[in-house]
Structure 1
Amino acid sequence: MDKSSLLKKAGQEIGISFSEVQIHQFLDYYECLVEKNKVMNLTAITEYEEVVLKHFIDSLSIVKAIDMKKCKKVIDIGTGAGFPGIPLKIAFPELELVLLDSLNKRVLFLKETIDKLGLTGITAVHARAEDAARKETYRESFDLCVSRAVANLSSLSEYCIPFVAKGGLFVSYKASDVEEEVKEAKHALYLLGGKMKEKIEFVLPSSDIGRSFIIIEKVKTTPLKYPRKAGLPSKEPLK
């Protein structure tokens, strides 16, 4: 199966149809990723089929959890090489999207990639989440905050929930076994103005890879003392 057909088939398995333009954007994104990966560490996954499944389709699987057509402003925290943000922008071009990462080299890669793919209404920002969340431009400004970053849910919630407008959602991409983590984060969510809405488990298409979405609703304004200063949310997660 050629690269385009494989991508189309993978999209159909999660209920998304790609246009020719979108197919080309994904292929170009793949090329940018593997090329830059030769000189900096962006991903351990470089085989095309694996990138499609474990990066592109995994990023887009959020459609199993929420209606992306109802989202307008989205922020991706700790985006790394652009996941899930860039696949979401390609698949849902009407989104206004911010990619946030604390490493400038990655942000430069993201900016180059955005230009190469001809994407508009998307910006890559170099900042720590703890600092960006204090800026009026970003604080409580987004319908949806997403993150595939590797951190426990308590820490991740402190990084992400301050960006979400009241009534909006924070969706954390996780592996399948998250019961304990969700239980431990319950009080942190309360302190931050969030509330556990639901957990959706699924298996990536044509694989045995179990994934979960933790969906948190923003029910009240986040107190101004959160997030705490840089480094603290990871070192001392809210209990």
Structure 2
Amino acid sequence: MWKFLRKNKRRFHVEHLSNLKLISERTGITDERKLALLESYGETIHDENKKYNLTGHKTLTDLIENLIIGSLEPLSGINVPRGTLFADLGTGAGIPGIPFAVKYDECSGILLDSNQKKIRFINKTCTELGISNVNGVDLRVEDAGRDDNYREKFDLVITRAMSDIYTIAELGAPLLKTGGSILLYINENQKNYSVNLLNHLDELGLSMDSSRSLTITGTDTFDGLLLTKTKPTDDKYPRRMPVISRMALK
């Protein structure tokens, strides 16, 4: 029997069936095991959030709609090949990395965050639910980009609400192989593509694929923006966070 069944002790009632139906309709997932895993993950966050702050979403319905479904909706227009190696930057409680790992269970990845408590939560939750294709790593993203174990090792970088586009691009580009992509979840206020930003993307070896801008519905409104790495990133990147933050304001 799947591990998540022990954790969840299946509640076959209206709310449970409604959650599964909502996830399936909005994400295109029909596999019952994956749907149950995603709901169980949402319930785990909801329960742990009562003990310490993992997310600002307090109800299970809001959490499922905005964190889980909101992590997966923009992926409907993106090809994710089998064997893709991904990194989730500033993952927090595992968003969007854990929903991504459940949907694309033939891919694998790491979830980066410098908050040890959240990384412990991620790894404990993945073990309990039987999610074995991803693990949390307690490491600053800028340090990962200078570490040979992580630099230019990934096919895809994903991140949601971590920072501005300028900063995410500089932190993500060094982790990508040439030909890889960064998927950012951006809000309306981040859609100012300044000359400074566009020049920075070019220097990092990134190009903007504006055709992949997909709206994520829910209480939180984001667009999915895809950046593709077309050439190697200079070794001077990523710089230290104070430098990146200062330059992002220009």
**TM-score greater than 0.5 by the shorter chain:** yes
TM-score by length of 2: 0.86
1:186 and 2:198 are equivalent in the alignment: yes
Question: What pairs with 1:50-69 in structure 2 (closer than 5 Å)?
Answer: 50-69=62-81
1:152 and 2:164 are equivalent in the alignment: yes
Do 1:139 and 1:162's aligned partners in 2 also have CA atoms closer than 8 Å? yes
**Other structure's SS at 1:195 match:** strand
Query: What is the CA-CA distance between 1:71 and the residue it aligns to?
Result: 6.0
1:81 and 2:76 are equivalent in the alignment: no
Query: What is the CA-CA distance between 1:36 and the residue it aligns to?
Result: 1.9
Do 2:110 and 2:134's aligned partners in 1 also have CA atoms closer than 8 Å? yes
Change (3 A) 1:193 1:37: same
Distance 1:47 1:182 in 2: 37
Distance 1:151 1:109 in 2: 22
Do 1:77 and 1:149's aligned partners in 2 also have CA atoms closer than 8 Å? no
Query: What is the CA-CA distance between 1:51 and the residue it aligns to?
Result: 1.1
Could you say which residue in structure 1 is the equivalent of 2:18? 5
1:27 and 2:43 are equivalent in the alignment: no
Could you say which residue in structure 2 is the equivalent of 1:100? 112
Query: What is the CA-CA distance between 1:159 and the residue it aligns to?
Result: 1.1
Could you say which residue in structure 1 is the equivalent of 2:5? none
Distance 1:71 1:185 in 2: 31
1:14 and 2:27 are equivalent in the alignment: yes
Could you say which residue in structure 2 is the equivalent of 1:202? 215
TM-score by length of 1: 0.90
1:201-226 per-residue CA deviation (whole Å, 9 max, x = no partner) reads 3251xx57542111101011110010
Could you say which residue in structure 1 is the equivalent of 2:248? 237
Distance 2:133 2:175 in 1: 18
Do 1:131 and 1:230's aligned partners in 2 also have CA atoms closer than 8 Å? no
Distance 1:83 1:117 in 2: 16
Could you say which residue in structure 1 is the equivalent of 2:225? 214
Do 2:34 and 2:102's aligned partners in 1 also have CA atoms closer than 8 Å? yes
Choose which of 134, 144, 153 in structure 2 pairs with 1:122: 134
**Other structure's SS at 1:5 match:** helix
Letter in 2 for 1:42: L
Q: CA RMSD in A?
A: 2.1
Do 2:68 and 2:96's aligned partners in 1 also have CA atoms closer than 8 Å? yes
Distance 1:151 1:208 in 2: 19
Query: What is the CA-CA distance between 1:24 and the residue it aligns to?
Result: 2.6
Do 1:11 and 1:57's aligned partners in 2 also have CA atoms closer than 8 Å? no
Distance 1:101 1:84 in 2: 12
Could you say which residue in structure 2 is the equivalent of 1:226? 237
Distance 1:149 1:12 in 2: 24
Query: What is the CA-CA distance between 1:170 and the residue it aligns to?
Result: 0.5
Q: Percent identity?
A: 30
1:35-64 per-residue CA deviation (whole Å, 9 max, x = no partner) reads 221232110102121111100111001323
Tell me which moved more, 7-16 or 44-53.
Answer: 7-16
Do 1:79 and 1:149's aligned partners in 2 also have CA atoms closer than 8 Å? no
Distance 1:156 1:87 in 2: 20
Distance 1:24 1:13 in 2: 15
**Unaligned runs of at least 5 residues, structure 1:** none
